[in-house]
Amino acid sequence: MLHYIVKRLFYGILVLWGVVTLVFLLFNLLPGDASRMLLGQRADISSVEAIRKDLGLDKPLYIQYLNFLNDLSPLSVHNADNPKSYWYLNRNKYPSAHILLHFKHDVLVLKPPYLRRSYQSKREVSAIIAEAFPKTFLLAAAAIFMALFLGILLGIPAALYKDSAYDRFMMVFSSLGMSVPSFFAAILIAWLFGFVWEKYTGLPMFGSLYSVDNYTGEVYLNLRNLILPAITLGIRPLAIVISLTRSALLDELSKDYIRTAYAKGLRPVRVIFKHAMRNALNPVITAITGWFASLLAGAVFVEYVFDWKGIGLVIVDGLEKYDLPVIMGVVLFIAVILILTNIFVDILYALLDPRVRLS
């Protein structure tokens, strides 16, 4: 098992290196000059050159790439003596860097990954992500919990009453839920429940996660504003959980051990929930784990429509302002989440099914 985990981690590192390389090449080969974006189109040539030198854009592309990897790596090599060096250990950039080893003028340091600074706000990209990600995580967690709870609850009767009117309705609902684009569902739900029927639902179309009390000035968590975006984001995983629960439970109910349980005189409720559902939930749990990572990356349209200030809005804002460090940092952050989640799902599969480890 340890060999399998180490192999999956190694493959994950290779995939991450490929993503980092692809992101670097894509964003550095795009048209546009970062120094012009910082100073404006009317900036003089000397100011532009100074900014290009400060950002390292005057260096060859392979030097920029090596420095990009050096910034992202927790273990990195820097020059400790020469402030003019491109690899200088600048404490403003790496405030929490811890020196491990000295090599004459160079040092090996342990530090958090450095994602550069925003061209527009001058804030560190890691701070921007740290501020926005908890809101996206809460939204994705609420959507997954809703999808898992309702999906299993609605999928069980669909399997038990196969080919009934209810089963056919659930299959139609699952097909629609998996095919409706998220941006269309977000606009429709926001308009219908947050605008047309707002006086009945009491749910606003737009709302922040945190609200301020007008009398005391205290900031409190307003979970009511979470309902509509969570429902919108959870429609597709809900449809998938219903379909998976139905198919997995039907498959388990047709097996010999279920017939043996009935032959022993066990009650149907005990057979279904203690025996059949126990095995039928394995593919559902592993699938929903992968979907959680996808929701963290795919909440852009939902957050934009509902003005939910998470990672999605950070991406849209970075694209509108052509803020390359922010876009690159968010893309890499999402890639890390997807890779780690896939590794976790692979390990979970191996724990549930020993044949995966042997293969």
Q: Give pLDDT tens digits for 308-343.
A: 888 888 888 888 877 888 888 888 888 888 888 878
In-domain check, residue 63: yes
Same domain, 68 and 210: no
Domain, as residue range, for 40: 33-72
Residue 29 DSSP SS3? helix
In-domain check, residue 26: no
How far is residue 44's CA from residue 65's CA, in Å, rounded to a whole number? 27
pLDDT of residue 165: 92
In-domain check, residue 9: no
Same domain, 106 and 213: no
In contact, 53 and 84? CB cutoff 8 Å: no
- Residues of the chain short of pLDDT 50, as ranges, are none
Q: How many domains does the chain have?
A: 3
The tokens of 339 are what? Answer: 């890779």
How far is residue 228's CA from residue 203's CA, in Å, rounded to a whole number? 7
Same domain, 217 and 136: yes
Same domain, 158 and 105: no
The reported pTM is: 0.78
pLDDT of residue 212: 58
Same domain, 188 and 335: yes
Same domain, 150 and 93: no
In contact, 68 and 20? CB cutoff 8 Å: yes
DSSP 298: S
In contact, 207 and 325? CB cutoff 8 Å: no
Same domain, 282 and 324: yes
Domain boundary, last residue among 59, 83, 112: 112
pLDDT of residue 43: 61
CATH number, residue 157: 1.10.3720.10
In-domain check, residue 214: yes
pLDDT of residue 208: 63
In-domain check, residue 21: no
- 78 DSSP β-pair partners: 107
Same domain, 233 and 319: yes
Q: In what order do the strands lie in the sheet with 106-110?
A: 75-79, 106-110, 98-103
pLDDT of residue 324: 81
In-domain check, residue 16: no
Phi, psi for 88 (deg, rounded to 5): -65, 140
Same domain, 160 and 252: yes
pLDDT of residue 169: 93
Same domain, 229 and 344: yes
Same domain, 172 and 108: no
Same domain, 61 and 178: no
CA atoms within 13 A on the CB side of 111: 26
In-domain check, residue 24: no
In-domain check, residue 4: no
